[in-house]
Structure 1
Amino acid sequence: MLPAPFRLFFVAVPLLVAGGALAMAAFPRKMMSWQTRSPDGSTGRIEPSDTRVLAMRATGVVVAALALLMVVANFAFIP
């Protein structure tokens, strides 16, 4: 049996990864929009394409599912 700090590490890290991945899946435009500034001082925004947004959503869901699977597997393999 592992000490409590190790168990906490093996649970906390995948939960943080799952939270970040779900945020990426839920708000892909906020996570990928860029604000630019030209030499004359004007600003503009660069927005991702719809295909990239869809790919980010799918990737976020898959990564979150794998991270949550790691949490469940840790409880199964490390009692």
Structure 2
Amino acid sequence: MLPAPFRLFFVAVPLLVAAGALAMAAFPRRMTAWQLRSPDGSTQRIEPSETRILLMRIMGVVVAGLALLMVVANFAFIP
């Protein structure tokens, strides 16, 4: 049986990963948009393509699912 801090680590880290992945899936434009400032002072927004946005949403859901599966597996294997 592992001490409580180790059990907390093995639950907290996958939950943080799942939260970050779901945030990436929910708000991909906000998390990947860049604002570029040129030497003359003008600004330009750089945004990813629609295909990249779709893949980011899919991968965010997949990573969140795997992280939540790790939490469930930790409770199954570490009593």
Residues 34-73 of structure 1 aligned to structure 2 (within 5 Å): 34-73=34-73
Identity of aligned residues (%): 85
Output the CA distance in 2 between the equivalents of 1:53 and 1:30: 11
> Structure 1, unaligned stretches of length 5 or more?
none
Number of aligned residue pairs = 79
Q: TM-score, normalised by structure 2?
A: 0.99
Aligned-pair RMSD on alpha carbons? 0.3
Q: CA deviation at 1:46?
A: 0.4
Per the alignment, residue 16 of structure 1 pairs with: 16
One-letter amino acid of the counterpart of residue 5, structure 1 = P
Runs of 4+ in structure 1 over 4 Å off: none
Per the alignment, residue 7 of structure 1 pairs with: 7
Residues 33-79 of structure 1 show CA distances to partners (whole Å, capped at 9, x for unaligned) of 00000010011100111000000000000000000000000000000
Output the CA distance in 1 between the equivalents of 2:32 and 2:59: 14
Secondary structure of residue in 1 paired with 2:45: strand
